[in-house]
């Protein structure tokens, strides 16, 4: 199944390692990701200002491009997914916004025909989880993985329709299909602080802390996330937390495709573990999921 | 004697249309109908034996407004219908023209005349074309008429290869030719074209001519023959409405809230309720009485009143009756039997 | 249209659901154009397709039949028969050349005052765009 | 075919002798060469003039209304029986009257005869260009001789319209069957004429029908020839309420044809008599054909022409299609 | 031409604000057929009625048109007035120029023009009207009550007391409904079974009441006064006549299973009776659980039964009853907690709903009245109650307030505090709705005497941590986010119509609203009647309500039934179909259309012209016909007509509207 791939700004810079594992694992699940030609920032936040149409110009442009290529759009970051999908929803339901945008960009009217999917959804659509079960060579036996959804993936549910907003199950399926144990921790759908962590760390401190502690309390080995932004907040926060609370044992944060690459038996070098803020390899080694040699 | 080239006919019609409505035979979905030409004047056709609706439509239309009334806050005012326009019927057959004379007897003779019919008749002109090829239904010769007869028409055109030989019968016809003299040319030779039209025979020929049938019919009131043919009759108004000589009509008011109009429409003696009277009494309850009445009127009562049979042998009822109850069958049978 | 064309729309409303729905629209002061005239009938099954044809002939520009939702009919099968009759009648009228947008059938229950007003506005809007219905209409 | 007539006459004679029937309805030669008109015989010698051949005949069922329905209360009680000559299409019309409780089946003696399509002499005349004097038929080829020309025509061309889309060529159930039907008329359902009109735009369709209806002279021949139209007093004859005014204006014509078509919707046996008897040849078959096509499509009735105990508009299914 | 009187009503400002009433009555004065036209401030008032009566008598009018509000409102009033003045009531017609003209149009000129045209069309309709006389139809004086809860029982008892036979159908094996499951009831805290069991006992032994438990209504035909209802009696596999209620079978039965009555809080045997005071006190075998049905072995109950009344091969029976009136009292259920994702979606055992708490607190319940945690049976030190769980929540599709949760939650907290004095009871609420008599005082008592902590705010999430439940909420009064660790969380889930109510509505042809509650005929004026005549509503089947309201509504419904049965026969609406036998050909195309099977063929002697003829015509059973008119459309010749809405009337109305 062919999709046009919208990587989002960090995938080529800070979180480049995610990108490699995304490419490998999705091709194994015969999901063909062909990068959108000249994409640009997704708009980062779905505008809530009064005249919010101008905020939709850049996501509209990417959607319009994907539509011209005739394939649905896959993103790998919750924030991009949220903004693009809500723009698609607004354009297909509000004729005025559609007219304003198409006149401003003087392209012929795009009315939300093409679909916006997160990579996880694309997997689920192409019976990805059965394929994972088949293709898992290195099952992650008794690895306790805590799935972190965040909020932009789930809410507002009438527009995103990603999963049950209060009680999602897609990540649990993903983890079980790799043979790992899904840890059910209540804060998995709390907000990680998103951009607020950049402007005023103090406000957001409590949020990420409660998430990490909640996962730790249920002795999760690894936390996986589906969004570079959540990864950044959770990982960065752990560094401060370790200084201030010496009892706290850091939990490595991985992007879900990294874990998937490991399960598929891809050699560790190209899973990109080395550039994660907290090194996950010691724990993986202790669960002898990676062979001794290439641990360090 | 004048001549009219076939190619000039459309020109003539166009010229006449300046001050008169033109009616001509046109082919509509395979049916030849005498209909009003609105602006395209070569829409007429000549390959027909007879038009389905006769020229009666023009002088005694199926549906005619007699008057209108308005009832505004309790006082009633009545408007006469709009004055009729001049009308010219082109392509009429001699039998239809003859039928108009019969209608004249009914509507114009005697002390009381029908003013609507009278006005239309005066403002109407008939340009008849003699029949080149009568078909198996025609029997005009049985009624002292012929494919080339001139009774009833204003002008008769006798078709000859590429032109018509023009014979003006009435002074209205003469005036009409004089008014459009430039279209007509004068014909030189007077060969036997007209005569052979007049003497042309129809397949049925004369064996439908009633002769003295009306005398005999006087005492045939309860002849079983009526019951025999009436049993076949479906009771539809087909034969009466296509017949050029039938003239029964019904008058009814059509109301629109407080205003309305009085209209006159054709009615047929074959309908179930034609003779229904107040108090639910119907002197002719079954089809036997009605069928007998139809033919007795045409062959007996009309003859006594106007000394003419009320049929011109156009053959429409013979062609159109689905079950073969028509005047030709009646005459031939009655002549044999009596 | 130089003079602003005011359509003349006839609505047959079934007494138990749609007529009460119309009342509900009234009590909640919903607005719809004054081009609609409502005729109360006991059931949508009472509406004879000949009435609809008569309406067009006498000068109506649009006809709307409102009945109960299938299954809710007070006489339990009236609207099913109405549906069958008008499934055929609409197709036949369109076959004769009358614009099918001029006849509409809607299921409106007693509680749906909002829907009643919305349907009336929509229908009046469509008919004004279509203009007067001159087909099968009586000469003055 | 001749022996068929003798067989019929033989049957009629013994029916009359056994006092089984009080009347027999068949066909006899009409005024023109090949026209066959209905014939009524109250005893054997009146029936001598009856014949059976392959030429077009009107449907006889309509007369049963008058012969049985009104006079002898034949709709209600057993009365003296009436014999009738029946082909497949006649049988459908008879079944129409029986289902409509106009006549009782017991009051009928149905004499079934085989049929593989009747010839329409008017079409032969038209193809010949003049009145055919002699028409001989063998199998699929017809030889028509006029005074001047003579032509061989294959039978399909001059078949009667209704025979082209014949619903029932064999008589389903008859009291006496003169001869078994040789081969069935393989005929498929053909609504191409109706689809032709459906393809036009709405304006064109209205123009088409306005032109047809303007020719209509309101003679009611279509109603009087139709067996589905078997009311005691037709709604068009009733003045209070006046569904149809006497004036013959375009809107009234639309009303007339709309009401009549709707009254026979789902009940018409596609016998084509209405089209045949219309003096101005209005394609009435299209109107009834449209209803028949829709009924078969929407209410999945496989052959709407065969009268059912309850007519399609007399019942409903919960999963009827919803268009709105 | 009839002498018709036209009265145009001002209706105060309601009509006159957008319809020029004077202009209308002026214009109608000289409309052909109108003899008298006038307008009046309030026609429905007594002076208004007097004006109409006087005008009829003085001018001997033959028809009346009243242009005012909807016929559903005052048609009967004006027809009664005309009848009093000696004019046949069916000569009076109403033009609706309020709900369908003045209230829905703003442009005065358009509205007036439309009103005038509507009045003219009604005048045309009245011209074609005829005198109609109501029919008298026989009536079966027996009522069917569906639902054996407190509302069903109250109706049954009231009607039975009035001397009419009652059939009480209940889908559970015993009567008592939801009230039997309650512990104490607010606001008096008297124990539910103490006030209920006298009623159930009385119903059990009342001679006029036939009890049909474990049964449901599957079909209902006919019309008000003459319903024919089919009741399916599901098999109980025990012969209740022979059984003496010793309950040995229940004791000895080896198979334990979840008890529906206990809402999952307690167990019961495969053969059992729901609770000790159940009426009828007879056991029932659950086909799904009983070992015999699964494997064919066991049969211990047969061995121990002294009177040998176990019948494994018992079949379901269909019973047909002739009924005069039906009362729907199908009660309510609670929204299953599985539908609330934010409170654990039913995963956590210690998150329970209101009814489950009732069972724990009930003396006859699984814990004999001691409030314990379902998971480990310990006494909870702190309980959090969450109000409006699923109610007043548009996203969940239930914007309505369930009305009783505020009160029963306060009661729960109070019961808990009475048992565990040092326990912590916290209630998260939005607004406390305690509007009944003594309700507010009850809540104040819970706050002041029993120190129940009321926190105004919604709960965002409930999750389990280290064996305890963490409740994340907010206290909007202090603006603080709140985190409470509780041993037990009780959700006051939304009140929804009982399962099967929508299907019952379809069977009885009574409409339900979008949430499944039954539609009443008029929210304010006819709360206990449904839209279908002869079918009444009582209790939570119509909308969530507490016990006092349910009982009063049930008594109202009973009163309606008793008034209906007080007359020996019913007066039927004369607007029914009629056949013109001169025209009818007897083709009976109308017969299959009639939903009430009111059309039958008949042989008549009819005079046509000078002959008498025997013919078959269609005839109408005036009693069965309800006047829907669907048959008149099927009749081709117009012989079948509907008086009141005849072809002539509708055509005249149509023509004048199209001018």
pLDDT tens per residue, range D266-304: 999 999 899 999 999 999 999 999 999 999 988 888 888
Q: What is the pLDDT of residue D184?
A: 66
Q: Distance between CA B89 and CA B25 in Å, rounded?
A: 9
Mean pLDDT value of segment D109-127 = 86
Strand order through the sheet with A253-255 = A181-182, A144-148, A222-225, A253-255
E336 three-class SS: coil
Whether C14 maps to a domain, the answer reads yes
| Dist. CA A8–CA A76, nearest whole Å | 8
Mean pLDDT across chain B:
87
- Chain B's closest residue to E28, CA to CA, is B73
- Please give the share of chain A, as a percent, with pLDDT higher than 70: 98
Q: Using CA of residue B52, residue B57, residue B60, residue B63, what is the dihedral sign? A: positive
The pLDDT of residue A293? 52
**pLDDT value at position C3?**
64
- Which residue has 């001029």 as its token pair? C102
Q: Which of the four pLDDT bands, split at 50, 70 and 90, describes residue A296? A: very low
Of residues E99, E626, E632, nearest to C75 (C-beta): E626
What is the DSSP code (8-state) at residue E37? E
What is the pLDDT averaged over residues E539-564? 94
Q: Is E195 exposed, middle or buried (0-12, 13-18, 19+ CB in 10 A)?
A: middle
**pLDDT bracket for residue D67 (50, 70, 90):** confident
Interface test with E, best of C6, C36, C74 (most E CBs within 10 A): C74
Chains contacting B with at least 3 CB pairs below 8 Å? D, E
d(CA A178, CA A131): 10
* Residue D109 and residue D257 in one domain: no
What would the DSSP string read from start to end of C108-130? --TT-HHHHHHHHHHHHHHHHHH
> How many domains is chain C partitioned into structurally?
1
Mutation site for E-interface testing, chosen from D233, D315, D317 by largest number of E Cβ within 10 Å: D233
- The residue from D147, D177, D207 where one domain ends is D177
Residues facing residue B159 across a β-bridge: B164
Shared domain for D77 and D137, answered yes or no, is: no
Q: Which residues contact D272 (CB under 8 A, 6 or more apart)?
A: D160, D161, D162, D285
CA B282 to chain centre: 29
Strands A222-225 and A144-148, sheet pairing: parallel
Domain that holds residue D89: 4-118+160-177
Residue (of B130, B127, B131) closest to B173 by Cα position:
B127
Q: Torsion over CA of A32, A36, A41 and A47, rounded to 10 degrees?
A: -80
Q: Are B317 and B95 in contact (CB under 8 A)?
A: no
Regarding whether D217 and D276 lie in a shared domain, the answer is: yes
The pLDDT value given to residue D93: 93
| pLDDT > 90? residue E526 | no
Mean per-residue pLDDT, A25-30: 86
pLDDT digits (tens, 9 = 90+) for E298-344: 888 888 899 989 888 999 999 999 999 999 999 999 999 988 888 88
Distance CA E106, CA D253 (A): 40
Task: Give the sign of the dihedral formed by CA D162, CA D166, CA D172, CA D175.
Answer: positive
Q: Which residue has the tokens 């308005």?
A: B70
Q: What is the DSSP letter of E260?
A: T
Interface contact E630-C19, CB threshold 8 A: no
On whether residue D320 sits in a domain, the answer given is: no
pTM beyond 0.90: no
Residue C2 resides in a domain: no
- The CA distance from A248 to A251, in Å, is 9
A186 contact residues in E (CB cutoff 8 A): 461, 463-465, 470
Name the percent of chain D lying above pLDDT 90: 32
Of all residues in chain E, the one with the smallest CA distance to A167 is E341
CB D77 within 8 A of CB D18: no
| Cα gap A63→A215, rounded to integer Å | 36
Among the ranges given (A99-113, A148-162, B306-320, D204-218), the one the predictor scored with the smallest mean pLDDT: A99-113
End-to-end CA distance of chain A: 37
C14: CATH: 3.40.50
Per the structure block, which two tokens stand in for E478? 């202090």
Structural domains in chain D (count): 3
Take residue E626 and report the two structure tokens written for it.
């309800």
Do D131 and B235 lie within an 8 Å CB cutoff?
no
Contacts of E104 in chain C (CB under 8 A): 25-26, 29-32, 117
**Residues from E in contact with B at Cβ < 8 Å:** 30, 32, 609, 655-656, 659
- Residue A21: the pLDDT is 86
Count how many residues are written for chain C. Answer: 140
DSSP helix/strand/coil, B69? strand
- In sequence order, what are the beta bridge partners of E511? none
Closest CA to E34 of E73, E70, E63: E63
Please state the rounded mean pLDDT for residues A63-90.
87
CB A147 within 8 A of CB A172: yes
Q: What's the pLDDT band for B190 if we cut at 50, 70, 90?
A: low
Residue D39 lies in a domain: yes
D12, D35: one domain:
yes
Domains of chain E and any CATH numbers: 4-127 (3.40.50), 143-328+531-547+559-565 (3.50.50), 332-496 (3.50.50.60), 573-643 (3.30.70.20)
**Cβ contacts of residue A106 below 8 Å, gap of 6+?**
none
Helix (H) / strand (E) containing C96: helix C78-96
Of A166, A214, A217, the CB nearest to E341: A166
- Same domain, yes or no, for D109 and D129? no
Q: Are residues D172 and D125 in the same domain?
A: no
Listed residue (E649, E91, B277) closest to D240, CA to CA? E649
Whole-number pLDDT of residue D117 = 84
Both D198 and D307 in a single domain?
yes
Percent of chain B surpassing pLDDT 90 = 30
Report the residue from B71, B280, B282 with minimal CB separation from E32: B71
Question: What pairs with residue B31 in β-bridges?
Answer: B28
Nearest CA in chain B to E654: B257
> Sign of the C-alpha dihedral, residues B171, B173, B174, B180?
positive
Provide the number of CB pairs (under 8 Å) joining chain A to chain E.
17
Burial category of E584 from C-beta neighbours within 10 Å (exposed 0-12, middle 13-18, buried 19 and up): buried
In a domain, D226, yes or no: yes
pLDDT digits (tens, 9 = 90+) for B124-174: 999 999 988 888 888 888 888 888 888 889 999 888 888 888 888 899 988
C28 within 8 A of E100, measured Cβ to Cβ = no
CB D127 within 8 A of CB D149: no
In this predicted structure, what is the pLDDT of residue A200? 79
If you ran DSSP here, which 8-state letter would residue B147 be given?
A: T
To the nearest 10 degrees (0 to 180), the angle between helices D192-199 and D284-298 is: 90
Asked whether the beta carbons of residue E616 and residue D101 sit closer than 8 angstroms, the reply is yes
The upper half-sphere exposure of residue E177, i.e. CA atoms within 13 Å in the direction of its Cβ, equals 27
D200 & D236 share domain: yes
Residue C117 falls within a domain, yes or no?
A: yes
Token pair recorded at residue B278: 């107040």
- The beta-carbon neighbor of B74 closest among E30, E656, E659 is E30
* Cβ contacts from C onto D, under 8 A: 100
Given a contact cutoff of 8 angstroms between Cβ atoms, the answer to whether B241 and D219 are in contact is yes
Quickly state the pLDDT bin for E609 (edges 50, 70, 90): low
The predicted structure's pLDDT at residue D69: 64
Domain architecture of chain A: domains with CATH: 2-119 (1.20.1050.140), 132-295 (3.40.50.11810)
Strand runs (DSSP E) across C3-136, as ranges? 9-14, 36-41, 62-67, 103-107
Range of the domain at C41: 9-130
Is residue E291 pLDDT above 60, yes or no?
A: yes
Tell me whether residue D187 is in a domain. Answer: no
Residue C137 lies in a domain: no
Domain assignment present for residue D319? The answer is: no
pLDDT in tens, E407-429: 999 999 999 999 999 999 999 99
Minimum CA–CA partner of D240 in chain E: E648
Q: Same structural domain for residues D113 and D216?
A: no
**Which residue from A53, A46, A41 is spatially nearest to A102, judged by alpha carbons?**
A53
- On chain D, the residues whose CB falls within 8 A of the CB of B52 are 215, 279-280
Q: Are C55 and C40 in contact (CB under 8 A)?
A: no
Residue C4 inside a domain? The answer is: no
Residues of C with CB under 8 A from a CB of D: 49-50, 53-54, 57, 70, 77, 80-81, 83-85, 87-100, 104-107, 135-139
- Gap between the Cα atoms of C46 and C39, Å rounded: 12
Confidence of residue A295 (pLDDT cuts 50, 70, 90): very low
CB contact under 8 A, E609 and B257: no
Tell me the mean pLDDT in the region C14-40: 92
Burial A57-74 (b: 16+ CB within 10 A, else e): ebbbbbbbbbbeeebbbb
Lowest mean pLDDT of B178-182, C78-82, C103-107, E375-379, name the range. B178-182
SS3 category, E615: strand
The residue among E67, E58, E107, E119 whose CA lies nearest residue E85 is E58
Q: Least CB-CB distance to D38: which of B28, B263, B323? A: B323
pLDDT at C2 over 60: no
């Amino acid at each position: 199944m062919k999709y046009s791939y919208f990587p989002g700004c960090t995938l080529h810079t800070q979180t480049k390692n995610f990108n490699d594992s995304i490419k490998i694992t999705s091709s194994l699940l015969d999901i063909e990701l062909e990068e959108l030609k000249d994409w640009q920032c997704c708009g980062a936040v779905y505008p809530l200002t009064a005249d919010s149409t101008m905020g939709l110009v850049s996501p509209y442009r990417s959607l319009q491009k994907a539509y011209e290529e005739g394939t649905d759009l896959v993103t790998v970051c919750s924030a991009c997914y949220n903004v693009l999908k809500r723009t698609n929803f607004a354009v297909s339901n509000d004729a005025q916004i559609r007219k304003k945008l198409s006149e401003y960009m003087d392209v012929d009217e795009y009315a939300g025909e093409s679909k916006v999917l997160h990579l996880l959804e694309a997997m689920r659509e192409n019976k990805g989880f059965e394929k994972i079960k088949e293709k898992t060579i290195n099952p992650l036996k008794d690895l306790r993985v805590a799935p972190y959804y965040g909020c932009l993936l789930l809410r507002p549910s009438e527009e995103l329709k990603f999963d049950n907003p209060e009680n999602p199950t897609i990540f649990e399926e993903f983890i079980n299909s790799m043979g790992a144990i899904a840890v059910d921790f209540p804060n998995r759908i709390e907000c990680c602080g998103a951009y607020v962590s950049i402007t005023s760390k103090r406000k957001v401190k409590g949020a990420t802390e409660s998430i990490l502690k909640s996962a730790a309390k249920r002795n999760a080995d690894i936390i996986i996330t589906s969004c570079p932004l959540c990864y950044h907040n959770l990982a960065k926060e752990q560094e401060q937390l370790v200084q201030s609370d010496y009892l706290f044992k850091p939990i490595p944060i991985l992007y879900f495709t990294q874990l998937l690459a490991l399960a598929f038996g891809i050699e560790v070098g190209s899973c990109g573990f080395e550039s994660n803020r907290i090194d996950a390899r010691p724990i993986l080694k202790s669960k002898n999921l990676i062979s001794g040699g290439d641990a360090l | 004697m004048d001549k009219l080239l076939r190619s000039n006919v459309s020109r003539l019609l166009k010229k006449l249309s300046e001050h008169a409505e033109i009616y001509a035979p046109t082919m509509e979905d395979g049916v030849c109908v005498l209909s009003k030409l609105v602006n395209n004047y070569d829409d007429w056709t000549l390959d027909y034996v007879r038009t389905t609706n006769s020229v009666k439509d023009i002088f005694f239309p199926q549906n005619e407004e007699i008057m209108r009334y308005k009832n505004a806050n309790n006082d009633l005012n009545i408007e006469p219908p709009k004055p009729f326009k001049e009308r010219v019927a082109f392509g009429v057959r001699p039998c239809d023209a003859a039928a108009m004379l019969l209608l004249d007897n009914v509507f114009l003779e005697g002390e009381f005349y029908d003013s609507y019919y009278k006005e239309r008749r005066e403002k109407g002109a008939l340009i008849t074309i003699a029949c080149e090829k009568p078909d198996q239904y025609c029997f005009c010769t049985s009624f002292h008429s012929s494919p080339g007869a001139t009774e009833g028409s204003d002008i008769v055109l006798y078709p000859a290869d590429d032109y018509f030989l023009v014979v003006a019968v009435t002074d209205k016809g003469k005036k009409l030719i004089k008014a459009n003299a430039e279209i007509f040319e004068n014909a030189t030779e007077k060969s036997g074209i007209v005569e052979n039209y007049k003497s042309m025979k129809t397949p049925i020929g004369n064996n439908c001519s009633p002769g003295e049938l009306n005398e005999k019919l006087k005492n045939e009131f309860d002849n079983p023959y009526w019951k025999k043919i009436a049993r076949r009759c479906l009771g539809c108004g087909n034969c009466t409405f296509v017949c050029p000589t039938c003239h029964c009509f019904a008058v009814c008011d059509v109301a629109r809230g407080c205003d309305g109009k009085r209209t006159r429409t054709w009615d047929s003696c074959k309908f179930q309720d034609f003779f229904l009277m107040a108090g639910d009494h119907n002197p002719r309850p079954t089809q036997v009485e009605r069928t007998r009445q139809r033919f007795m009127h045409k062959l007996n009562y009309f003859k006594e009143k106007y000394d003419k049979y009320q049929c011109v042998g156009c053959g429409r009822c013979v062609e159109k009756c689905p079950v073969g109850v028509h005047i030709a069958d009646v005459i031939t049978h009655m002549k044999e039997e009596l | 249209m130089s003079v602003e064309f005011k359509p003349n729309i006839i609505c047959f409303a079934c007494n138990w659901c749609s007529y009460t729905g119309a009342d509900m629209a009234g009590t909640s002061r919903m607005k719809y154009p004054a081009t609609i005239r409502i005729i109360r009938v006991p059931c949508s099954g009472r509406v004879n397709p000949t009435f609809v044809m008569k309406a067009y002939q006498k000068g109506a520009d649009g006809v709307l039949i409102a009945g109960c939702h299938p299954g809710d009919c007070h006489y339990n099968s009236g609207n099913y028969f109405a549906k069958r009759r008008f499934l055929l009648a609409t197709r036949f009228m369109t076959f004769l050349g009358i614009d099918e947008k001029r006849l509409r059938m809607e299921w409106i229950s007693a509680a749906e005052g909002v829907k009643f007003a919305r349907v009336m506005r929509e229908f009046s809007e469509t008919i004004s765009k279509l203009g007067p219905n001159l087909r099968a209409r009586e000469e003055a | 075919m001749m022996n068929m007539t003798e067989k019929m006459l033989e049957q009629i004679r013994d029916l009359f002798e056994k006092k089984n029937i009080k009347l027999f309805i068949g066909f006899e030669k009409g005024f023109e060469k090949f026209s066959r008109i209905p014939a009524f015989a109250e005893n054997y010698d009146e029936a001598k003039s009856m014949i059976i051949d392959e030429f077009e005949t009107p449907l006889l069922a309509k007369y049963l209304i008058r012969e049985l329905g009104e006079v002898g209360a034949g709709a209600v009680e057993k009365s003296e029986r009436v014999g009738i000559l029946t082909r497949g299409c006649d049988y459908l019309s008879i079944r129409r009257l029986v289902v409509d409780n106009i006549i009782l089946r017991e009051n009928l003696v149905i004499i079934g005869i085989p049929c593989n399509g009747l010839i329409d002499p008017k079409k032969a005349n038209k193809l010949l260009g003049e009145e055919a004097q002699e028409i001989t038929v063998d199998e699929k080829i017809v030889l028509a001789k006029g005074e001047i020309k003579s032509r061989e025509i294959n039978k399909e061309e001059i078949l009667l319209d209704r025979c082209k889309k014949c619903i029932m060529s064999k008589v389903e159930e008859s009291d006496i069957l003169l001869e078994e039907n040789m081969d069935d008329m393989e005929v498929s359902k053909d609504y191409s004429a109706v689809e032709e009109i459906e393809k036009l735009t709405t304006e064109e369709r209205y123009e088409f029908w306005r032109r047809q209806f303007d020719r209509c002279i309101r003679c009611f021949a279509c109603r009087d020839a139709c067996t589905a139209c078997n009311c005691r007093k037709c709604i068009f004859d009733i003045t209070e309420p006046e569904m149809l005014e006497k004036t013959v204006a375009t809107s009234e014509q639309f009303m007339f044809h709309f009401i009549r078509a709707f009254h026979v919707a789902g009940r018409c046996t596609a016998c084509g008599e209405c089209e045949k008897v219309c003096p101005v040849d209005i394609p009435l078959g299209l109107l009834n054909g449209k209803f028949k096509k829709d009924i078969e499509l929407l209410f999945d009735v496989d052959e709407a022409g065969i009268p059912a105990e309850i007519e399609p508009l007399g019942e409903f299914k919960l999963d009827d299609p919803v268009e709105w | 031409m009839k002498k018709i009187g036209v009265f145009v009503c001002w209706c105060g400002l309601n009509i006159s604000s957008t319809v020029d009433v004077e202009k209308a009555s002026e214009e109608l004065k000289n409309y052909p057929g109108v003899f008298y036209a006038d307008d009046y401030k309030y026609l429905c008032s007594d002076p208004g009625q007097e004006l109409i009566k006087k005008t009829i008598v003085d001018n001997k009018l033959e028809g009346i048109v009243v242009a005012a509000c909807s016929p559903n409102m005052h048609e009967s009033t004006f027809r009664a007035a005309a009848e009093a003045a000696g004019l046949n009531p069916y000569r009076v017609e109403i033009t609706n120029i309020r709900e369908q003209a003045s209230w829905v149009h703003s442009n005065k000129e358009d509205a007036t023009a439309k009103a005038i045209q509507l009045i003219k069309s009604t005048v045309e309709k009245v011209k074609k009207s005829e005198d109609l006389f109501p029919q008298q139809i026989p009536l079966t004086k027996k009522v069917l009550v569906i639902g054996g809860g407190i509302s069903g029982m109250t109706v049954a008892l009231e009607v039975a007391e009035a001397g009419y036979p009652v059939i009480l159908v209940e889908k559970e094996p015993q009567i008592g409904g939801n009230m039997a499951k309650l512990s104490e009831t607010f606001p008096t805290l008297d124990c539910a079974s103490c006030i209920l069991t006298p009623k159930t006992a009385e119903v059990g032994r009342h001679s006029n009441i036939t009890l049909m438990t474990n049964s449901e209504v599957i079909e209902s035909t006919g019309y008000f006064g003459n319903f024919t209802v089919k009741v399916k009696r599901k098999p109980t596999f025990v012969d209740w006549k022979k059984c003496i209620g010793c309950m040995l079978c229940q004791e000895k039965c080896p198979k334990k299973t979840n008890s529906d009555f206990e809402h999952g809080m307690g167990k019961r045997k495969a053969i059992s009776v729901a609770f000790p005071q159940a009426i009828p006190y007879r056991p029932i075998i659950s086909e799904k659980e009983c070992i015999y049905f699964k494997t064919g072995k066991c049969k211990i109950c047969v061995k121990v039964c002294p009177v040998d009344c176990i019948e494994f091969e018992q079949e379901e029976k269909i019973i047909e009853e002739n009924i005069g009136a039906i009362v729907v009292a199908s009660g309510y259920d609670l929204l299953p907690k599985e539908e609330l994702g934010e409170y654990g979606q039913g995963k956590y055992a210690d998150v329970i709903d209101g009814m489950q708490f009732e069972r724990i607190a009930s003396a006859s319940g699984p814990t004999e009245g001691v409030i314990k945690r379902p998971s480990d049976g310990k006494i909870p030190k702190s309980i959090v109650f969450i109000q409006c769980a699923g109610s007043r929540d548009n996203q969940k599709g239930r914007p309505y307030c369930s009305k009783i949760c505020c009160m029963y939650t306060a009661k729960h907290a109070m019961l808990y505090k009475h048992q565990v004095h040092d326990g912590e009871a916290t209630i998260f609420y939005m607004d406390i709705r305690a509007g009944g008599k003594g309700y507010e005082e009850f809540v104040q008592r819970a706050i002041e005497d029993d120190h129940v902590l009321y926190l105004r705010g919604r709960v965002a999430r409930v999750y389990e941590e280290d064996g305890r439940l963490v409740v994340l909420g907010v206290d909007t009064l202090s603006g603080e986010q709140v985190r409470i660790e509780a041993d037990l969380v009780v959700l006051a889930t939304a009140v929804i119509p009982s399962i099967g109510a929508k299907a019952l509505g379809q069977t009885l042809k009574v409409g339900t609203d979008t949430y499944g509650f039954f539609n009443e005929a008029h929210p304010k004026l006819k709360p206990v009647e449904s839209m279908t005549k002869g079918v009444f509503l009582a209790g939570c089947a119509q909308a969530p309500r507490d016990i006092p309201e349910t009982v009063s509504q049930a008594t109202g419904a009973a009163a309606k039934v008793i008034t209906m049965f007080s007359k020996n026969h019913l007066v039927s609406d004369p607007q029914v179909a009629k056949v013109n036998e001169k025209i009818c050909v007897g083709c009976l195309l109308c017969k299959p259309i009639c939903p009430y099977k009111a059309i039958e063929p008949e042989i008549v002697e009819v005079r046509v012209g000078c002959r008498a003829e025997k013919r078959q015509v269609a005839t109408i059973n005036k009693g069965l016909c309800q006047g829907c008119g669907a048959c008149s459309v099927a009749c081709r010749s117009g012989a079948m007509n509907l008086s009141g809405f005849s072809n002539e009337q509708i055509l005249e109305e149509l023509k004048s509207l199209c001018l």
